[in-house]
Amino acid sequence: MKIQELLEAKKFKKSHHKHVDFDDSDEPVPDADQDKIPLVTMQMLKALDVDGNYPITFKDGKKAKLKIEDIKKFLMKYMAARPNDKENMQDMASNSLEGFYRALDRYDVQKEPKHKIKGNRYMSHFAGDFDDK
């Protein structure tokens, strides 16, 4: 064989066998964690920055502009909630506008302890240790 024939044979093999093992079924699956709708809390933070003049998009496809007081109340409750409650609160609020108001009513901020030590200090696990200060 001549050198020219060998080079042409190699070019032929490369061009025809480029993706032999790649089927249509092997295409990458879109990431399930990347939703088309951003997180509700992130949308609310954006709305808070522009004084409520930002429509919140819910999973049901509807958009609504919320009152700035409701946004602040939701975010305060969200930040004070436990991690499990945060997840449930966000899931409930992201479904629809009604779900947002249900989440706003359902989850309460943890109340302050009832027992005061002195002034505005509240009892804790080491209450009494620092009363002199």
Per-residue pLDDT of the chain (133 residues; tens, 9 = 90+): 577 777 777 665 555 555 555 555 666 666 655 557 788 999 999 999 999 899 999 999 899 999 999 999 999 999 988 888 899 999 999 999 999 999 999 877 655 555 555 566 555 555 555 555 5
What pTM does this model have? 0.57
Q: Which H or E run contains 102?
A: helix 97-106
In a domain, 46, yes or no: yes
CB neighbour class for 78 (10 Å; exposed up to 12, middle 13-18, buried from 19):
buried
Place of tokens 């509807």: 62
Residue-number span of the structural domain to which 101 is assigned: 40-106
**119 located within any domain:** no
**Distance (Å, whole) CA 75 – CA 102:** 14
- Degrees to nearest 5, angle at CA 11 with 9 and 15: 120
Kindly give the interhelix angle for 68-80 and 40-49, rounded to the nearest 10 degrees.
130
Residue 127 inside a domain? The answer is: no
pLDDT at 124: 56
Domain count, the chain: 1
- 83 within a domain of the structure (yes/no): yes
How far apart CA 25 and CA 96 sit, in angstroms, is 35
Overall residue count recorded for the chain in this entry: 133
- Whether 19 is in a domain gets the answer no
Residue 18: inside a domain: no
Does residue 123 form part of some domain? no
